[in-house]
Amino acid sequence: MLRSTFAHIDLDAIAANYRAITAFVAGESPGGSPPSVIAVVKANAYGHGAGPVARALEQAGAEMLACADIEEAVALRTAGVRAGILVFGAMSVSDLGGLFEHDLVPTISTPTAARAVEAEAARRGTQIRYHLKIDTGMHRLGFRHDSLRQTLPELLASPHLQLAAVYTHFATAEDPEHPLMERQRAAFDGALATLADMGVPPMRRHAANSAAMLRDSRVWFDAVRPGLLLYGVPPPPLATTVLVHPAMRLVSRVVSIKGLRSGESVGYGARYTAALPRRIAVVPAGYADGLDRRLAGRGHVLVGGRRAPIVGSVSMDMITIDVSDVPCAPGDEVVLLGRQGGEVIDVREMAATIGTIPWEVLCRVGTRIERIYNPAEAF
């Protein structure tokens, strides 16, 4: 049985976005072979549903996907994904058996992780290919770019670990005014030179997330790693000429309409009191579905192709909207995210309304929200 609130996920749009990104980096490459595209599907494909999205990307030509941890990667394999899978996260706290049993590519970002993966590979009598992460200024995971001569020799000498690529991650790619990205780019170039001086042969390099890819072709290297842009959302405040389309449309229904007299309030905390008689509609979607409580009194939804403000508190399972000027009836569609008629509420608008980022809005779409895929997926 389908709940009144659910998400339409357009897999054709995601595939088209992947192809548009691939064409963009191919057409704008400064020279040589264009970079490949590592499609990022971590956090349940940014709320869109990792299995169906990963299969759609694979069918669109993606040869490598990336996710946060081994558990996410195993779920992709279980869903039938055969493409290469890069695991971003820390290795030392995971069940390393999954790397070998499911043909995954680990990130080695600490000496502890290197020793753990080496020991597991030795126990199994096999080699495993890995990507080396360099910390150029994010100061999370990664070998410090200025200490490689001291920290890498043990890893590079590991007989069961085969270096396949090296990468870094930018901390401020979405902020064109911040100088850190340029410092990180220079630090990564220096780290690559250090590796060459240490006798490491040339290997694949990658650094650019969606924002960095849009900002600076110098950081495309051999592969780019789009995440948010794959789902049709340019990272704010950036704009893009890459023709991408949002892939999620979050919808619900009007379940009740009632009058509110002057001076009466609605919802928990009586946070909204009508100054004049109003017509209020109840919509069965709340913070348990991923709607932020800060939308109360700030956000809008679409009904009949028109905007209706959210009034009163966002509760666990319901919101109330003011439809005094919007003709509607119980059963009518309500769009929380997406287009209806000539109006649209996109994820960037919703994020700006509540003072957060689009990544959080998408990833918070709740687990009880059923995803309906177009075209329909066979499970």
Active site residues: 42, 268
Cβ neighbours of residue 239 under 8 Å, at least 6 residues apart? none
Q: How far is CA 262 from the centre of its chain?
A: 44
Neighbours of 355 (CB within 10 A): 9
User: Rounded distance, CA 233 to CA 227, Å?
Assistant: 9
Give Dmax over CA atoms of the chain in angstroms: 78
* Three-state DSSP state, 208: strand
User: Rounded distance, CA 255 to CA 258, Å?
Assistant: 10
User: Rounded distance, CA 191 to CA 145, Å?
Assistant: 5
User: Rounded distance, CA 6 to CA 194, Å?
Assistant: 51
C-alpha closest to that of 81 among 49, 110, 108? 49
Strands (E), 262-305: 265-266, 272-273, 278-283, 300-303
